[in-house]
């Protein structure tokens, strides 16, 4: 007989994937009907764009492919969670009770991060889509305002983790829990901000979806080994929703994830990392996210202070494009590295 915890973790994930597949045609119809793609190309808004970027940039797909595909992910997740929750209340004492993983202590906060981040990301995408209405935001909100928003979210969440959940330590693999007191609050904000900065990995068909699906799957396994079954189930349901999105995002992409996907996913991943007391493992499991953020930061700093570029184009995946790698080669190799990094991260979690 299959243990109830196994069913609780993996069955909703399959349902989330199926729901995502089923709702996509309906969403796609409206994506194209209302032309939910960028109102103008980056080449139109940045005349100083480098020749290297112009060579790899496909202006036609940028202004002809919907960029709000992330809706598929969090919408399918919410449908599955609410359906299981409602059925468990209406039909008590059934399998639905065993499958229900909506809990205040484990999943409510990361789920709120996913939905809030997704909705605000959708607002950000709309600013870039309807440029005729929001002429001041042809490329969305400035980085300054986005950073301020994420810092605010991080601060609010850090107070909740610190005062409500009593978290003030960080687990260092092979060493143990290290108490950092009030330092937990700025550390939390820094991690949330760092994870958010990796959203720029959403630049090639299938790239972000594959990397994020692997990361959430890894944290699902970690949560399961720590007996955090509800968090494990949430991670797997999110992974199922991402895989449904990825089914249609593999080249040529029917739509892009956009901010509505990446903002919610990056915030949720950071929250899950803290809830499983495995935040340091983000450096391993999310090594490609780290590399993406790091390459962009290094490029900006080098150009500002030394007047030269380290990479042909940043972030890193565009650098490989400039070197002549095909989009498919970059995506597949990123997936391979993501899987191996996730395996290493899970192993470290189990033995460290």
User: 278-314 pLDDT, tens per residue?
Assistant: 999 999 999 999 999 999 999 999 998 888 999 999 8
**Closest to 260 measured CA to CA, from 61, 113, 140, 124:** 124
345: number of Cβ within 10 Å: 26
* DSSP string for 205-231: TTHHHHHHHHHHHHHHHHHHHTT-HHH
Q: What is residue 47's predicted lDDT score, i.e. its pLDDT? A: 46
Q: What is residue 307's predicted lDDT score, i.e. its pLDDT? A: 87
- Residue 48 pLDDT > 80: no
- Residue 38 pLDDT > 60: yes
Token readout for 164 is 């409500």
- Residue 58 pLDDT > 90: no
pLDDT interval class at 61 (50, 70, 90): low
**Contact by Cβ (8 Å): 114, 26:** no
Dist CA 65 CA 256 (whole Å): 7
User: 84-122 pLDDT, tens per residue?
Assistant: 998 888 876 666 778 888 898 899 999 999 999 999 999
Mean pLDDT, all residues of the chain = 89
Dist CA 8 CA 237 (whole Å): 10
- Cα distances from 324 to residues 55, 63, 335, 346, in angstroms, run 10, 23, 19, 33
Q: What is residue 56's predicted lDDT score, i.e. its pLDDT? A: 65
Q: What is residue 213's predicted lDDT score, i.e. its pLDDT? A: 97
Give buried/exposed letters for 266-303 (b at 16+ CB in 10 A, else e): bbbbbbbbbbbbbbbbbebbbbbbbbbbbbbebbeeee
Radius of gyration of the chain (CA): 20
**Contact by Cβ (8 Å): 12, 236:** yes
- Residue 266 pLDDT > 90: yes
- Helices assigned H by DSSP within the chain: 4-33, 42-45, 51-56, 59-62, 70-90, 95-99, 108-129, 143-159, 184-197, 207-225, 229-249, 258-275, 282-285, 287-306, 316-322, 327-351
Q: What is residue 40's predicted lDDT score, i.e. its pLDDT? A: 63
Query: 276 CB contacts (<8 Å, ≥6 apart)?
Result: 219, 222, 223, 226, 228, 231
- Residue 214 pLDDT > 70: yes
Q: What is residue 49's predicted lDDT score, i.e. its pLDDT? A: 52
- Residue 55 pLDDT > 70: no
SS3 204: coil
Percent of the chain at pLDDT > 90 equals: 71
Dist CA 317 CA 320 (whole Å): 5
Length of the chain: 352
φ/ψ of 233, rounded to 5, equals -65, -40
Q: What is residue 228's predicted lDDT score, i.e. its pLDDT? A: 96
User: 234-255 pLDDT, tens per residue?
Assistant: 999 999 999 999 999 988 899 9
pLDDT interval class at 203 (50, 70, 90): confident
Please indicate whether residue 44 or residue 318 has the higher confidence score (pLDDT). Answer: 318
Give the pLDDT mean for 29-42: 82
Q: What is residue 142's predicted lDDT score, i.e. its pLDDT? A: 72
- Residue 340 pLDDT > 80: yes
Up-side HSE of residue 187: CA atoms within 13 Å toward CB? 18
146: number of Cβ within 10 Å: 19
């Amino acid at each position: 007989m299959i243990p109830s915890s196994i069913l609780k973790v993996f069955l909703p994930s399959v349902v989330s994937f199926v729901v995502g597949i089923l709702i996509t045609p309906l969403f796609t119809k409206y994506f194209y009907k209302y032309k939910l793609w960028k109102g103008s190309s980056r080449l139109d808004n940045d005349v100083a764009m480098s020749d290297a970027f112009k060579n790899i940039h496909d202006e036609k797909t940028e202004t002809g492919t919907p960029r709000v595909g992330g809706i598929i992910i969090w919408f399918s997740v919410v449908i599955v969670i609410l359906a299981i929750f409602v059925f468990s209340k209406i039909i008590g004492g059934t399998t639905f009770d065993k499958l229900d993983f909506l809990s205040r202590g484990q999943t409510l906060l990361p789920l709120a991060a996913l939905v809030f981040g997704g909705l605000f990301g959708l607002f950000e995408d709309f600013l870039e889509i309807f440029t005729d209405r929001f002429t001041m935001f042809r490329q969305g909100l400035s980085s300054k305002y986005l950073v301020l928003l994420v810092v605010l979210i991080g601060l609010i969440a850090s107070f909740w983790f610190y005062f409500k959940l009593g978290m003030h330590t960080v687990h260092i693999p092979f060493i143990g829990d290290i108490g950092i007191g009030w330092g937990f609050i700025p550390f939390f904000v820094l991690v949330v901000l760092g994870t958010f900065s990796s959203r720029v990995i959403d630049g090639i068909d299938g790239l972000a979806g594959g990397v994020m699906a692997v990361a959430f799957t890894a944290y699902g396994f970690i949560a399961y080994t720590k007996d955090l079954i509800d968090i494990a189930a949430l991670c797997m349901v999110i992974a199922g929703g991402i895989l449904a999105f990825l089914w249609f995002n593999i080249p040529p992409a029917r739509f892009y994830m956009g901010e509505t996907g990446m903002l919610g996913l990056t915030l949720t991943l950071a929250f899950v990392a803290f809830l499983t007391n495995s935040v340091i493992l983000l450096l391993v499991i999310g090594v490609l996210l780290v590399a993406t953020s790091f390459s962009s930061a290094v490029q900006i700093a080098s150009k500002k202070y030394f007047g030269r570029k380290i990479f042909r184009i940043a972030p890193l995946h565009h650098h490989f494009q400039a070197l002549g790698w095909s989009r498919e080669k970059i995506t597949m190799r990123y997936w391979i590295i993501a899987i191996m990094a996730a395996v290493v991260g899970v192993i470290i979690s189990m033995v460290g």
